[in-house]
Chains A and B, each alone.
Chain A
Amino acid sequence: MSTNMKMSRRQFAKGTVATAALAATGVLTRLPKVHAADPIELVHWSWLSASDAEVWTQMIQNFNDAHKDKGVQIKMETVPDDQYETKVLAAAASGQAPDFGWGTAGLHAQWAQDGVIVPLDDLSKQVGLDLADFSAFSISSSRYPKYDNKLFMIPMDLMTIQPEVNLDHVKEAGLDPDKFPTDGDTLIEWAKAMTKRDGDKVTRSGIMMTGSAVQPTITWSIVAAQMGFKRVSDDYKTAAQNPEAGKQAMQWVLDLFDKWKVSTRDVTNRYKAFGTGQGSIFWTGPWTLNGYVQQKLNFRSYAFPKIGSTLLTYLEEGGMELYVQKDTGRYEASMQAVKWLSDNSLLWTTKGRGASPRTSIQNNPQYKTAGLPWDLRGAFVEGVSYATLNQGVPVLAAQDFAPYAGDNFLAKTLDEVWNNKKSIDDAMTAIQTKWQSDLDEG
């Protein structure tokens, strides 16, 4: 082949400089002109994707409408749930973190240690956010005792797990919908009455369950806690207290499948299954309410029964975290935005999800009448008073302790029990060992 295309070094250098000059010109002409009074655009990341996401989008829009002439706007970006944490970390590491985003109480001790999230005590005072208006429990849950007990999240909602019940199945079984069970034995009787079987196979679950992942894990966690099992001691030094209660709870879950036969391991999607009438009692969170209402499912929520010696249920507290910024001057603007969203969270806690952690919102006359009907919402709101099983344990390896999870250490260990691959005793030993080593790490 001929070498007519050879270029001298001088020609190459000229070409490179010309190309670079063209590129720079293109960039320069695209640079926006900066005006003296440009509004601040706060970047907010949200991982909400269910029907509550629409309500949250409305909340952000309301903020932007109210602040059009005040020099601050929020730009919301939706990040998939399973990518959220990694993206926040990567963004923070490169100095590009969003201004604020959704967090869950007790799960970000590592972030507090690494400085990804900023403490909010002083910022709250600075913007006049009244922390006394929040329930003491919600504020204490948002603190990390190992990091000077500082506040790292402003609570936005309190979500409990409560049973939702298909009223058509209740009627079909001849049961009284006003007398939902308040103890474990009656609960099983109700479940048996509503279960449909084909021989030995459950074709309609009395109690909606799956054979692995989130549903049996959260069920075990609640029942175990009711029976007296404690994930960690109050001083966060000892793991898995009262393991016998934990073992009893594992047996209770197994009995749902194998002894009482009111549940089946064959459900793949529990939300869809309950929505299409394949299950009668489904304990879940308030994020499901909008979806089932839109589906016109005939259902009602009730208080979680007392299966063990103590009435309690699971609580997940969501809220706003501020992420580390190069320009610390942005924190005040972000905190002002969080304060506004919190002060105006009546919409969020009546139509979105969860109960409000704020007394002023709870005392609002519209709190019980706005949004979804009280016979759907009420149990989730009133249940906060006995929802003492938190998602987060404020240690570095918090994820290993989380009860509402499908693929963490706890769920994977328990999955082996539900599928008869590990004995109850071995599973409890594994849980004790791992959790203790997590606590020892800090």
Chain B
Amino acid sequence: MTASTTAEMSAPIAQQRRSGDGRTDWAGYLFVSFFTLPFLLFNVAPIFFGIAIAFTRWGIMGAPHWVGLKNFTNVLKDDWVAQAFTNTLLYGLIIVPGVVILGLIFALYVNKGWPLSGLARVLFFSPNVVSSTVIGLVWVWMLDTQFGLVNHYLGFLGIPNIPWITSTRWSLVGVSMASIWWDLGLAFILFLAALQDLPKELNEAAEVDGASPWQRLRFVILPQLRPVISMVITLQLIASLRIFSQVYVMTNGGPAGSSTSVIFYIYQTAIFRHLFGPASAVSMLLFTMILVVTALQRWLIREQ
């Protein structure tokens, strides 16, 4: 066989290989299908089902009955839905700054290697590994008006007992406190990782130039942490707007709906009252709210 014949024979083969004609990479599809099929079935399909149900009257038994926009008009007129949305936004406004600020403070403390920082690292993160139900049950007792630890220590400061979870004024704050304590761990770890990744030279240069610790924090460290702060705020905002377990365990949405969140309202409407149409309508409104709030937050903290 001559070199030219070999070249002539290999050209079509090379062309065939280049175009990929006749051979499909089924192995790739097979490997991906183990995730894709369940994801489509259990995540994506229920979303479309929920959207469809929002326009119907359905209580599990029997076929859904089309009612058009009636569910949406009813929930938009419902005072309890309005209260649930207001409460949910308030949860976001209380929990997100609490988690971000405290998480950053704790991360700075551990990063500095101050006394007991090794133990602090474990203690600050450990609430994150406990289930939200346990957190809620423990905090119900911590916040008990008469016998709770929180009021006990506040009493040393001369502050009278606060009805953290039995008063319409304080119930939202009480639930938020438990949520901040639970969510702190993740924010702390993210901030700590980011701090440990920062180049030391910038900080040292600023110190040499005579910058105070506060100035170094404000003008050197925080700007570099901006991407992580933005991510933590986004994640925490979404989590806070979806708050449920703490509300369910600690206050059951009361008293008088003062601590009800949107997800809790949806749960009650769907599971207790079997009104899946209105519950789905509220879910869609919540989804829209989360989209808008998250987009707004990302725009406000966009990178320069």
Contacts and interface: CB of A to CB of B under 8 A. Distances in A.
A406 B166 CA distance: 14
B59 A110 contact: yes
A266 B26 CA distance: 64
B168 A419 contact: yes
Interface stretch (B177-185, B215-223, B237-245, B251-259): B251-259
Contact of A412 (B24, B27, B59, B256): B256
B272 A399 contact: yes
A241 B253 CA distance: 30
A96 to B, nearest CB: 13
A31 interface: no
Contact of B166 (A110, A265, A412): A265
A12 B30 contact: yes
B252 A213 contact: yes
A92 B60 CA distance: 9
Contact of A268 (B27, B59, B140, B256): B140
B163 A212 contact: no
Nearest to A276: B147
Interface string B257-298: 110000000001011111000000000000000000000000
Contacts of B165: 268
A211 B166 contact: yes
A260 to B, nearest CB: 19
Interface size, B (range)? 20 to 34
B62 interface: yes
Given A114-B62, A268-B144, A210 B166 contact: yes
B61 interface: yes
A89 B61 contact: yes
A82 interface: yes
Nearest to A409: B273
A234 B145 CA distance: 44
A164 to B, nearest CB: 21
A419 B255 contact: yes
B63 to A, nearest CB: 10
A211 B23 contact: no
Given A82-B271, A212-B254, A415-B257, A266 B146 contact: yes
B109 interface: no
Interface in A259-315: 265-269, 278
A266 B145 contact: yes
Interface string A82-123: 110110011011000000000000000010001110000000
Contacts of A278: 146
Report which residue of B252, B255, B258, B271 has the largest number of chain A beta carbons within 10 angstroms of its beta carbon. B255
Interface in A62-95: 82-83, 85-86, 89-90, 92-93
B25 A6 contact: yes
Contacts of A269: 140
B23 A6 contact: yes
A27 to B, nearest CB: 20
B86 interface: no
Interface string B22-64: 0111110010000000000000000000000000000111100
Interface in A320-339: none
B272 A7 contact: no
B167 interface: yes
Contacts of B145: 266, 268
B61 A418 contact: no
A11 B27 CA distance: 10
Contacts of B62: 114
Contacts of A421: 168, 256
A211 B61 CA distance: 36
A238 interface: no
Interface centre among B23, B61, B270 (most CB of A within 10 A): B61
B152 to A, nearest CB: 14
Nearest to B23: A6
B253 A407 contact: yes
A407 B165 CA distance: 16
A203 interface: yes
Contacts of B252: 213, 406-407
Contacts of A418: 255-256
Contacts of B25: 3, 5-7
Nearest to A5: B27
B254 A12 contact: no
A89 B254 contact: no
A416 interface: yes
A74 B64 CA distance: 34
A211 B274 contact: no
Given A412-B80, A412-B256, A266 B166 contact: yes
Interface in B114-163: 140, 144-146, 161, 163
Given A213-B252, A399-B272, A268 B166 contact: yes
Contacts of A11: 26
Given A265-B166, A407-B253, A116 B61 contact: yes
A397 B300 CA distance: 46
A9 interface: yes
Contact of B163 (A9, A93, A266, A399): A266
Interface in A1-54: 3, 5-9, 11-12
A266 B273 CA distance: 28
Nearest to A324: B61
30 contacts: A5-B27, A6-B24, A6-B25, A6-B27, A7-B27, A12-B26, A12-B30, A86-B60, A89-B59, A89-B60, A93-B60, A110-B274, A114-B61, A114-B62, A210-B166, A211-B166, A211-B167, A212-B254, A213-B255, A266-B163, A266-B166, A267-B166, A268-B165, A406-B252, A406-B254, A407-B252, A412-B257, A415-B256, A416-B257, A419-B168
**Which 9 pairs of residues, A with B, have the shortest CB-CB distance?**
A212-B255, A415-B256, A266-B145, A89-B60, A114-B61, A12-B26, A212-B254, A419-B256, A7-B27
Interface of B: 23-27, 30, 59-62, 80, 140, 144-146, 161, 163, 165-168, 252-258, 268, 270-274
